[in-house]
Structure 1
Amino acid sequence: MTTITDISTIDAPRIDLGVPAGSRVIVAMSGGVDSSVTAALCKLSGYDVVGVTLQLYDHGVAIQKKGACCAGQDIHDARRVAEAMGFPHYVLDYENRFGEAVMEDFADTYLAGATPIPCVRCNERVKFKDLLETARDLGGVAMATGHYIRRVEGPNGAEMRRAVDASKDQSYFLFSTTKEQLDFLRFPLGEMPKAEVRRIASELGLVVADKPDSQDICFVPEGKYASVVERIRPGAVEPGEIIHVDGTVMARHQGVIHYTVGQRRGLGVATGDPLYVVRLDAAKRQVIVGPREALMISRVHLKEVTWLGDGEGEATARAGANVAVKVRSTRPPAPAKLIWDAESPTGWAVDLVAAEEGVAPGQACVFYSPDAANDRVLGGGWIAGTTAAAH
């Protein structure tokens, strides 16, 4: 691939990152089309771009699958994009940090009977923490990423808002971003539809223009979560009982890691009526099952809460503020109320206006503004427990 020498002829938007022209901007490059176009747009707009790719696991050898990121081919692709656009590119070995902060947390969360979201932990503990510090060390005045999210300057500082392309919005996975981090971060793709991003990549002749989007979890080959947990924590998976909510012992299981809240298929029990996993009790090694109505949840208890809204977060919760929340990434924001509950690990809890099913500990509950658009991200927390809806 040759370096593009005449950028004036490129049909791509020039972006304003809110920093002086010529400022150094560090771009986190995963090797995919989104982060590659982000870097290219920063370069085309006159910024001093430095691309950084994190080598996160197995030195790109042990896991080579379509839809992964930060593996060997992805690092190579990021390097080729940097060469074509004419900016320096560095690869940082974060394998140990990623293993401890993300992969081990993933295994331990499953073993505790919860359902983890490792992509959030990766953003929280690696990309927006360690990498952001590295960006400052490299002289960057900002760090840009290819996430589909918008950063808007509001009257009280930077605000996080949902992406224009709702089908690509990643706000659910970025709820734990702090206000300090948001001040430093930039998200050039938040205003663009995905089709425009691919068009720009094609216009620039980037090798990643037609590269498939990353899917699933990068370090979990073929979606086999249990095998990854058993590899990271050998011998930790123990059998137990499958118990109906009425107390009836229905069968044996080979480990709670094989089940998630809301699961219907593959339970290993046969009855005349459909049964679902209602909750998991890892301490007792029990999988509790019941009818669909037993899945309905009215209150969500939270831990590790991040507040991105105006004012002080605890005071807002104590006041019983109206919000909209997402308790799963694929669901639209739904009306709810922030409350202060002494039984929650940190006091934070959410009352859902309409009960929802399949709300699992270990997942995230993300707060949005209660207006019609539910546009602004107000923060969120990790689901520590739930209260069943009254039947």
Structure 2
Amino acid sequence: MWSIFRKSKKLNASFIATGHYARVDYNFDVKRYQLKKGQDKEKDQSYFLFSLSQYQLSHTIFPLSSLTKKKVRKIAKELGLPIYKKDESQEICFISRSNYNEFLREKRPDSFNPGPILTTNGKVIGQHRGIPFFTIGQRKGLGGGRKNPVYVLKIDKKKNAIVVGEKEKTYARGMQVSKVNWVSIPEPTAPILCKVKIRSQHQEASATVYPLNNKKCKVIFSQPQWAITPGQAAVFYREDTVLGGGWIEEVA
């Protein structure tokens, strides 16, 4: 969002407004602006906004913060805006054709190189079409003919390899998170108990977050979580407040 803020400064605008389902409040106890979930919990988009700074929060307005998606559609219909009947989108918002692989082929054709499918002990059991076709926990696209199904456990970009194994190995309790931004609270100096979300549709899970140096932290879940995926965002919540978040670096 920095590009939007740079543009707003050139226009001498005091605030920007976005259509995210999220809220901003000011907490006088900690003297910080705080990012919170939107009223519509099913459409809440606070997960995607954890990297905002205090400056950005203080100059951002979320007009949909107290509205549900159903109410927004009703208002749009009353105003005669045709968008009220637009189908729900589950895809990446900036990919107009809703085709992730096609977008990558256009922007990064070099990433679609075939490579080996490996077991955890390094045995080659097949070939894949390119690592962009796969994600952690995936079963589809790995070929058949095996006694037991296998799932993606790891994507090795250096070797251009997909590592697979049994479903139970897709669960883990720990991960390391980097580039952590404590958006709503001062950076903690001791472990904190909170809820953590590892995907936008992931059910928040109880965990302990251990702060480390260099904007990193270690997260240990109370219960094993399925398909913890490096490269995805990990966002920390306390009730409806986004404490902070970062990027999953590795499963630990």
Fold equivalence (TM over 0.5): yes
2:223 is the counterpart of 1:351: no
Decide whether the 8 Å contact of 2:207 with 2:220 is kept in 1.
yes
Distance 2:190 2:199 in 1: 25
Equivalent residue in structure 2 for 1:153, among 26, 29, 48: 26
> How many Å apart are 1:140 and its aligned residue?
1.6
Superposition pairs of residues 1-391 of structure 1, within 5 angstroms: 128-155=1-28, 156-217=31-92, 218-219=94-95, 221-225=97-101, 227-311=102-186, 313=187, 316=188, 318-341=189-212, 346-369=215-238, 374-387=239-252
Amino acid corresponding to residue 50 of structure 2 in structure 1: F
CA RMSD of superposed structures (Å): 1.9
Distance 2:88 2:11 in 1: 29
| Structure that is richer in strand per residue | 2
Distance 2:212 2:21 in 1: 33
Partner SS state of residue 260, structure 1: coil
Distance 1:206 1:258 in 2: 37
* Paired residue total: 249
Q: Deviations over 1:14-62 (max 9, x none)?
A: xxxxxxxxxxxxxxxxxxxxxxxxxxxxxxxxxxxxxxxxxxxxxxxxx
> How many Å apart are 1:207 and its aligned residue?
3.4
Decide whether the 8 Å contact of 2:33 with 2:184 is kept in 1.
no
> How many Å apart are 1:214 and its aligned residue?
4.0
Q: Deviations over 1:351-379 (max 9, x none)?
A: 1111101111111000101xxxx210011
> How many Å apart are 1:274 and its aligned residue?
1.8
- Structure 1 residues 151, 249: closer, same or farther in 2, change over 3 A? same
- Identify unmatched segments of 5+ residues in structure 2: none
> How many Å apart are 1:295 and its aligned residue?
0.8
- Structure 1 residues 292, 341: closer, same or farther in 2, change over 3 A? farther
Decide whether the 8 Å contact of 1:220 with 1:228 is kept in 2.
no
Partner SS state of residue 289, structure 1: strand
Distance 1:334 1:236 in 2: 33
> How many Å apart are 1:246 and its aligned residue?
3.5
Decide whether the 8 Å contact of 1:241 with 1:252 is kept in 2.
yes
Partner SS state of residue 168, structure 1: coil
> How many Å apart are 1:134 and its aligned residue?
1.3
Amino acid corresponding to residue 381 of structure 1 in structure 2: G
Decide whether the 8 Å contact of 2:180 with 2:216 is kept in 1.
no
Q: Deviations over 1:56-83 (max 9, x none)?
A: xxxxxxxxxxxxxxxxxxxxxxxxxxxx
Decide whether the 8 Å contact of 2:198 with 2:234 is kept in 1.
yes
> How many Å apart are 1:270 and its aligned residue?
2.7
> How many Å apart are 1:146 and its aligned residue?
1.1
> How many Å apart are 1:262 and its aligned residue?
0.7
Identity of aligned residues (%): 34
Distance 1:198 1:220 in 2: 21
> How many Å apart are 1:133 and its aligned residue?
1.8
Decide whether the 8 Å contact of 1:148 with 1:190 is kept in 2.
yes
| Structure that is richer in helix per residue | 1
Distance 1:252 1:368 in 2: 40
> How many Å apart are 1:237 and its aligned residue?
3.0
Decide whether the 8 Å contact of 2:22 with 2:36 is kept in 1.
yes
> How many Å apart are 1:341 and its aligned residue?
4.9
Partner SS state of residue 209, structure 1: helix
Partner SS state of residue 5, structure 2: helix
TM-score, normalised via structure 2 length = 0.91
Distance 1:323 1:263 in 2: 28
Amino acid corresponding to residue 376 of structure 1 in structure 2: T
- Structure 1 residues 167, 139: closer, same or farther in 2, change over 3 A? same
Decide whether the 8 Å contact of 1:148 with 1:187 is kept in 2.
yes
TM-score, normalised via structure 1 length = 0.60
Distance 1:258 1:214 in 2: 20
Distance 1:347 1:132 in 2: 26
Distance 1:160 1:132 in 2: 17
Larger Cα-atom Rg: 1
